[in-house]
Amino acid sequence: MTKVLILGGTGWLSGRIARHWLEAGADVTCFARGGRPAPERAALVVGDRDDPGAYAALSSRDWDHVVDISSRSDHVAAAVAALGDRAARWTYVSSMSVYSDDASVDADESSPRHPPAVPGDPYEYGAQKSAAEDAVRALGDRALVVRPGLIVGDGDPSDRFGYWAAAFLRAGEGPVLLPPLDGRSVQVIDVEDLAAYIVRTTLTGAVNAIGDVHPLGDVLARVRAAAGHSGAVLVGEEDRLIERGVQFWAGDRSLPLWLPADMTGFMTRSNALFLRSGGAPRPLTETIARVVDDERERGVDRERRAGLRRDEELALLRELE
């Protein structure tokens, strides 16, 4: 039986990776702080990665596969140092945020990265992921670095993709504010498809794990249809939105998925290697349907990490009309 160690295994993505391994018949151990349960049938080893002796309970065993998703390069480097000699294969879930070129369309895995973070640097997500990649790739042909773009699906804690399902659902017959659409694209990976790929692929090296490119307007139209929205939509002008403090991409008072016009490469990366090596993105309509159902269940007016509150949106609509 394949012995798999998930460094994590109790969160939104890592928990799905653990469940996919379990469904494949693996013996799964999750290493986490213990604030959340591990998936049923997975073992849980409780530990804190800030502890210098964190991996003592794990380093006496051989592992067929270790999976890590940490965004802290010191955590990743310490895990490789403690467990690398005991792992037949190691997968690190990085991010397309490692890339420094956000303008080139269809850029592949050879695109330049941000310089890796070094001790003492201020925390920068892309630089931390670059440094973590370097630590893992020191394992040579035992290592796979998976670079997903925007991960979406039910339960997504970032609220970026789900915001649009909630916005259309809560509006009903009322209006919805959209960001500029011309020239903007969306490229996502369903969390289930990413987890399945990590379990299935035999690739080593680095791979952009992402779905196909879609025009932003088309994606929002599909979400609107799935939500049954029948009201008007207003496409805001970029300058006027910025003047009123509306943010790009994510966070409070944002229009999620909206990017500056010059970031033409951020959501148009090449996924050719991903598709050749076993990546199988499901139709986007399936993901959208699941996200719409999830937003209905979790509540469209709940506190969220990205987007506009409905009162903020209505105020902006009145100002922009």
pLDDT single digits (tens) 236-270: 999 999 999 999 999 999 999 999 999 999 999 99
Q: What is the DSSP string of 148-214?
A: E-EEESTT-TT-HHHHHHHHHHHHTTS-EEE---TT-EEEEEEHHHHHHHHHH----EEEEE---EE
Same domain, 178 and 108: no
Tell me the CA distances in angstroms from 314 to 141, 295, 309, 318, one per residue in order.
54, 20, 9, 6
Q: Is pLDDT of 35 > 90?
A: no
pTM of the model: 0.97
Last residue of a domain, one of 148, 171, 200: 148
Tell me the CA distances in angstroms from 60 to 55, 117, 119, one per residue in order.
9, 30, 29
Same domain, 178 and 46: no
Domain-embedded: residue 277: no
Same domain, 91 and 39: yes
Same domain, 100 and 69: yes
Question: Which position has the token pair 């630590």?
Answer: 135
Same domain, 64 and 161: no
| Helix/strand/coil for 85 | helix
Same domain, 41 and 168: no
Same domain, 63 and 112: yes
Question: What's the token pair of residue 87?
Answer: 């792992």
Q: What does residue 234 show for φ and ψ, rounded to 5 degrees?
A: -125, 125
Q: What does residue 210 show for φ and ψ, rounded to 5 degrees?
A: -155, 155
- pLDDT at residue 115, rounded to an integer: 97
**What is the band of 120 on the pLDDT scale with cuts at 50, 70, 90?**
confident
Q: Is pLDDT of 116 > 90?
A: yes
**What is the band of 189 on the pLDDT scale with cuts at 50, 70, 90?**
very high
Domain-embedded: residue 272: no
Same domain, 160 and 144: no
Same domain, 142 and 250: no
- pLDDT at residue 34, rounded to an integer: 87
- pLDDT at residue 321, rounded to an integer: 81
Same domain, 143 and 157: no
Range of the domain at 91: 3-148
- pLDDT at residue 40, rounded to an integer: 94
The CATH number that applies at residue 77 is: 3.40.50.720
**What average pLDDT does the segment 209-221 reach?**
98
DSSP state of 1: -
Q: Is pLDDT of 48 > 90?
A: yes
Say if CB 42 and CB 22 are below 8 A apart. yes
Say if CB 3 and CB 64 are below 8 A apart. yes
The CATH number that applies at residue 170 is: 3.90.25.10
Same domain, 109 and 10: yes
Instruction: Say how far apart CA 303 and CA 279 lie, in whole Å.
Output: 34
